Structure 1
Amino acid sequence: MAPLSRRQAFKTALAGAAAGAVPAVAAPQPRFGIGIEGQRKADLGNGMFRNPIVAGDHADPTILKDGADYYMTFSSFQSCPGALIWHSQDLVNWTTISAALTQPIGTVWAMDLVKHAGRFFLYIPVLQPQRTAIYVTHAENIRGPWSTPVDLGIDGCIDPGHVVGEDGRRYLFVNGGRRIRLRDDGLATDGTLESAWQPWQYPKEWVVEMFAPEGPKLFRRGPWFYLVSAVGGTAGPATSHMVTVARAPSVHGPWQHCPHNPIVRTRSAEEPWWSRGHASVVEGPAGDWWMVYHGYEKDFRTLGRQALLEPIEWTPDGWFRAKGGKLDQPLKKPHGGKAGPAGFALSDDFSGQQLGLQWSFHAPAVDESSRLRIEGGSLALRGKGASLADCSPLTCIIGDRSYEASVELEVRGAGHGGLALFYDERGHAGIAFNRSQMLTYGYGQEHGWMRESITANRMRIKLVNRENVLTIHYALDGGEWKQHAWQMEVSGLHHNVFGGFLSLRVALFSAGAGEVVFRNFEYRGLTS
């Protein structure tokens, strides 16, 4: 049987990777608190905030309130370490504290983070070569260690949503209006997959990507269980994704649809946020209520789906409405709570003993950790594959519309390596060096006709991306910067072109024989 493509697996899930260790990770220390290092700042410092609350590719948010603390994680797709856990005490300022997944198990989609009986659980849908599956990992402490993920044996499903019913039993609701009961420990199923509710149907004339009922998230308030879900498709037209609500007096139904559906939807491509959907609802620090969901930024699909925060209000009839409009204006911060660090530094001098949480391998193999060595202010990366396309680069997520990134490198052996903007195997751009040449990558391939002979032992590369126009600079053996002859427009390197639900990330890479040694990676967000 041939492996499933992402699109085939996605369709299979809608209708009805081998494990291996990667390097330990450490949370980068926040710098300056001004967001210039890797995340646009949400908190305006005057009691107001603006979206996104977590910039860059942070799709399918699942949020957990645990006393005064909030924890959130996002789909990590083919990146590992993955399932980064973010922390906040005010719903606006977020920073990372750990990674729940340190072993590759496949392509990770929309998870659900819950706490039950004093233990944290993370339910994880995974695309693997022959199937889609749902795993669970658990921890006594949110910062870990997290257990080895367990396969629950639920095939053909994505987007698990955990709930405890009025009967005290645990359930997972999944895409397509289905659910399955869990064993009391939450680590195995206790029943079969069954129909649970009928997803809300939008008018047929609406312009969307596809029906795609997904992302059920459940909570209980007063006499009602509320089920928040998405329809319309997560990409495609700007007007596709949306947030819908149903409620029932019992976890077993009957479910009724909110008369205000959809609670959230992008209605025009002129709005600042496109394809808004896939929401989780949470109570704020002082008892007000909020939704966290994702959306594409107008004209910047390359940044992926970003995390957005919107207030809701409860109506006398027990439903709720969204209050943020188009999210085109600053909003009042949640009442109460405590502001903390926001974002984290992407720059890295590699002086630590562990790989920082800003870094993850793309599509890592079982032995990926053996490629990496951090010592004495350098990161040595052994070559893999033949080119940028197949070498599992080390990437970091970018949240700024304009930015520059630079690194020093030294090539050892017969391979080559460099610095690039990387969407996936088919879409990337940047430059690399071997011992005698400069190589140019553009639009998913290395262009042999642009190879240029060089004589140098150490090189510097700087990428400047100004609103999707990439300019490349390089310097040899401490000399002056030279601008590369080719400037590239990269706005097309996104999901609607390549699929995969990813974003355009900065990448360090090493291909072929030998290794590349990197030093002094510097990232800076640009305001214009």
Structure 2
Amino acid sequence: MDRRDAMKSAAIAALGLATPLPALAGPATAATASAPRWKRGLDNQRIADLGDGTFLNPVLAGDRPDPAILKDGKDYYLTFSGFESYPGLLIWHSRDLVNWAPRKPALHRNIGSVWAVSLDRHKGRYYLYIPVKASPQNDTFVIWADHIDGPWSEPKPLGLPNHIDPCHAVGEDGSRWLFLSGGDRVRLSDDGLSLAGPVEHVYDPWRYPEEWDVEGFAPEGPKIHRVGKWFYMLTAVGGTAGPPTGHMVIAARSRSIHGPWEQHPGNPLVRTTDIREAWWSRGHASLVEGPDRTWWSLYHGFENGFWTLGRQCLLDPVEWTADGWFRMTGGDLSRPLAKPKGGEALPHGMALSDDFSRLQLGTKWSFFRPSPDEASRARVVGNTLLLKGKGLAPSTGSPLLLIAGDTSYRFECDIELAPGATAGLVLFYDDKLYAGLGFDAERFVTHQYGMERGRPANPHGTAMRIRVTNRRHIVSYHTSGDGGQTWRKFDRGMEVSGYHHNVRGGFLMLRPGLYAAGPGETRFRNFTFTALED
């Protein structure tokens, strides 16, 4: 029996808090737990809240990596790494930690590939600290707002080219800091908008046994929480992807923001140990207090067999122990767990279908790696999306994409070409790896492996409806020349289980979307998305 199993549940008095926390059920494995049945929401998408006082992970499905959560009174705000998608840093809102509603994006200008951010509120003002990979130099930016919905300030560079994953923290003496990857930190000015000192090394993360299968040490994603008498630091080690057993959560604590930091005796607190488990590569954890004063951890993980969906947002119950430490108790998160009590359940998620009555950039749709004026390509008129062509194919055309969180789904759209244009529907990982079906006035174009391949004759001319079905990575296409009354199955199918980070890199997901290439404005109408039950 290891130290984690030996720690007994007890009152939280050692933390200086008011009430003890209830004991929670122990872990279950995917091999032994019965397969749960999903509850379905908008567009038949799976949702976490099962409606019986329990929930099933993920709480936010699809590509929701590096969750940055803020508790602000009775409200919770959450955002994720955006990488190459803009508008980005969509803020999500909850009051019960399980049901999440989208609000508005905070970042509209492309400043680079956005990695794990920090979201905080200090003296009435909201802050986002944003690390980016960019040319000619990486950096960390800060933006601020007086309301969570903005307007947010223009991004201001801080001059931190060699670190990622900042976490804003305030010391017992009122000093402001960014804790960084590698066990480093840097002091901030009192207004939080500039650096006030050099980067310094303050923590040597716990190391796992060398025989474990990991991607690499890579200490990253520090999260600092002041709870009672202690500052707690949660860190990810083992690499973000690679072997499913690599990414993990470790913790340390200190009486002071200035250290010294004591390693958690139960490290690692979360780690996939068997490829049969429901969730792989779990890490980048935060602590948060629920509406009923229970405690929880939010982190990300890959769904077993579905690297293509990216890292999804997971919620794990936390139990405090008499010695002032904590542990996660959700096991491999394959089974339903009791929800936090109290807190209003907001309408969860968003419909991915779109009648184009308005342009929903940054909430529903985002461009891949956009140019500064990319938003000017898109407008809606009379329930029609008019999208200016760009480039010659999805690889050069900044397609317009969605985040889909189901293992099987179907999407379709009416497309009317501008003269000389090419357009279609895609499953897009990045500009080097995508699949889909497009057409010009005379021929189809097949997109496969990030290349343009077959060019069979197009019987429908300049207007057609295209349907894409992705059923657990098996992709088929149908076309219709009469608005979907009759369909023809396209004679090339595809398999896309390898369109993911461990093949291509980039930390992205395979996203459904649409593109327009060549001259003029192509018209898109009646985009419908339906999640399919396996």
- 1: CA distance, partners of 2:204 / 2:502: 28
- Over aligned residue pairs, what C-alpha RMSD do you find? 1.2
| 1:315-371 residue CA offsets vs partner (Å, 9 max, x unmatched) | 111110111011111000012212111111011010125546110000000121221
Q: 2:459 aligns with which of 444, 454, 478?
A: 454
Q: 2:224 aligns with which of 218, 224, 235?
A: 218
TM-score (norm 2): 0.91
- 2: CA distance, partners of 1:262 / 1:242: 7
Residue 312 of structure 1 contacts residue 321 of structure 1 at CA under 8 Å; is this kept in 2?
yes
- 1: CA distance, partners of 2:324 / 2:136: 43
Q: 1:406 aligns with which of 389, 408, 412?
A: 412
CA spacing shift, 1:131–1:186, aligned 2, 3 Å: same
Shift of 1:511: 1.2
Q: 1:252 aligns with which of 258, 282, 286?
A: 258
- 2: CA distance, partners of 1:369 / 1:282: 36
- 1: CA distance, partners of 2:171 / 2:324: 19
Q: 2:278 aligns with which of 255, 272, 275?
A: 272
- Shifted more, 300-309 versus 507-516: the winner is 507-516
1:297 corresponds to 2:325: no
1:325 — aligned with what?
331
Match for 1:174: what amino acid? L
- 1: CA distance, partners of 2:165 / 2:142: 12
Residue 439 of structure 2 contacts residue 458 of structure 2 at CA under 8 Å; is this kept in 1?
no
- 2: CA distance, partners of 1:226 / 1:140: 28
- 2: CA distance, partners of 1:182 / 1:38: 46
Q: Which runs of 5+ in 2 are unaligned?
A: 1-38
1:345 — aligned with what?
351
- 2: CA distance, partners of 1:319 / 1:305: 27
- Shifted more, 177-186 versus 438-447: the winner is 438-447
- 2: CA distance, partners of 1:305 / 1:37: 21
Shift of 1:427: 1.1
| 1:181-204 residue CA offsets vs partner (Å, 9 max, x unmatched) | 000100101001111111111111
CA spacing shift, 1:199–1:321, aligned 2, 3 Å: same
| 1:383-404 residue CA offsets vs partner (Å, 9 max, x unmatched) | 1111111100000011011100
- 2: CA distance, partners of 1:422 / 1:83: 20
Shift of 1:477: 4.2
Residue 87 of structure 2 contacts residue 362 of structure 2 at CA under 8 Å; is this kept in 1?
no
Residue 189 of structure 2 contacts residue 195 of structure 2 at CA under 8 Å; is this kept in 1?
yes
SS at match of 1:144: coil
- 2: CA distance, partners of 1:353 / 1:274: 36
Shift of 1:451: 3.0
- 2: CA distance, partners of 1:76 / 1:365: 16
Match for 1:457: what amino acid? T
- 2: CA distance, partners of 1:427 / 1:199: 35
Match for 2:212: what amino acid? W
1:92 corresponds to 2:98: yes
Equivalence map 1:346-361=2 (5 Å)? 346-352=352-358, 354-355=360-361, 357-361=363-367
- 1: CA distance, partners of 2:42 / 2:76: 24
Residue 44 of structure 1 contacts residue 50 of structure 1 at CA under 8 Å; is this kept in 2?
yes
- 2: CA distance, partners of 1:36 / 1:68: 25
Shift of 1:437: 1.5
Equivalence map 1:162-181=2 (5 Å)? 162-181=168-187
Residue 460 of structure 2 contacts residue 480 of structure 2 at CA under 8 Å; is this kept in 1?
no
Task: Give the number of equivalent residue pairs.
Answer: 495
1:517 corresponds to 2:502: no
- 2: CA distance, partners of 1:356 / 1:260: 40
Shift of 1:143: 1.0
Residue 245 of structure 2 contacts residue 275 of structure 2 at CA under 8 Å; is this kept in 1?
yes
2:479 — aligned with what?
474
Shift of 1:455: 4.5
CA spacing shift, 1:185–1:356, aligned 2, 3 Å: closer
1:37 — aligned with what?
43
Match for 1:434: what amino acid? D
- 2: CA distance, partners of 1:54 / 1:39: 11
Shift of 1:454: 3.2
Q: Which runs of 4+ in 1 moved over 3 A?
A: 353-356
Residue 132 of structure 1 contacts residue 158 of structure 1 at CA under 8 Å; is this kept in 2?
no
TM-score (norm 1): 0.92
Residue 404 of structure 1 contacts residue 465 of structure 1 at CA under 8 Å; is this kept in 2?
yes
Q: 2:200 aligns with which of 194, 215, 218?
A: 194
Shift of 1:39: 4.0
| 1:47-73 residue CA offsets vs partner (Å, 9 max, x unmatched) | 000000000000000111011110000
Shift of 1:429: 0.9
SS at match of 1:497: helix
- Shifted more, 161-170 versus 451-460: the winner is 451-460
1:527 corresponds to 2:533: yes
- 2: CA distance, partners of 1:40 / 1:281: 25
Shift of 1:291: 0.2
Q: 2:241 aligns with which of 215, 228, 235?
A: 235
Match for 1:445: what amino acid? M
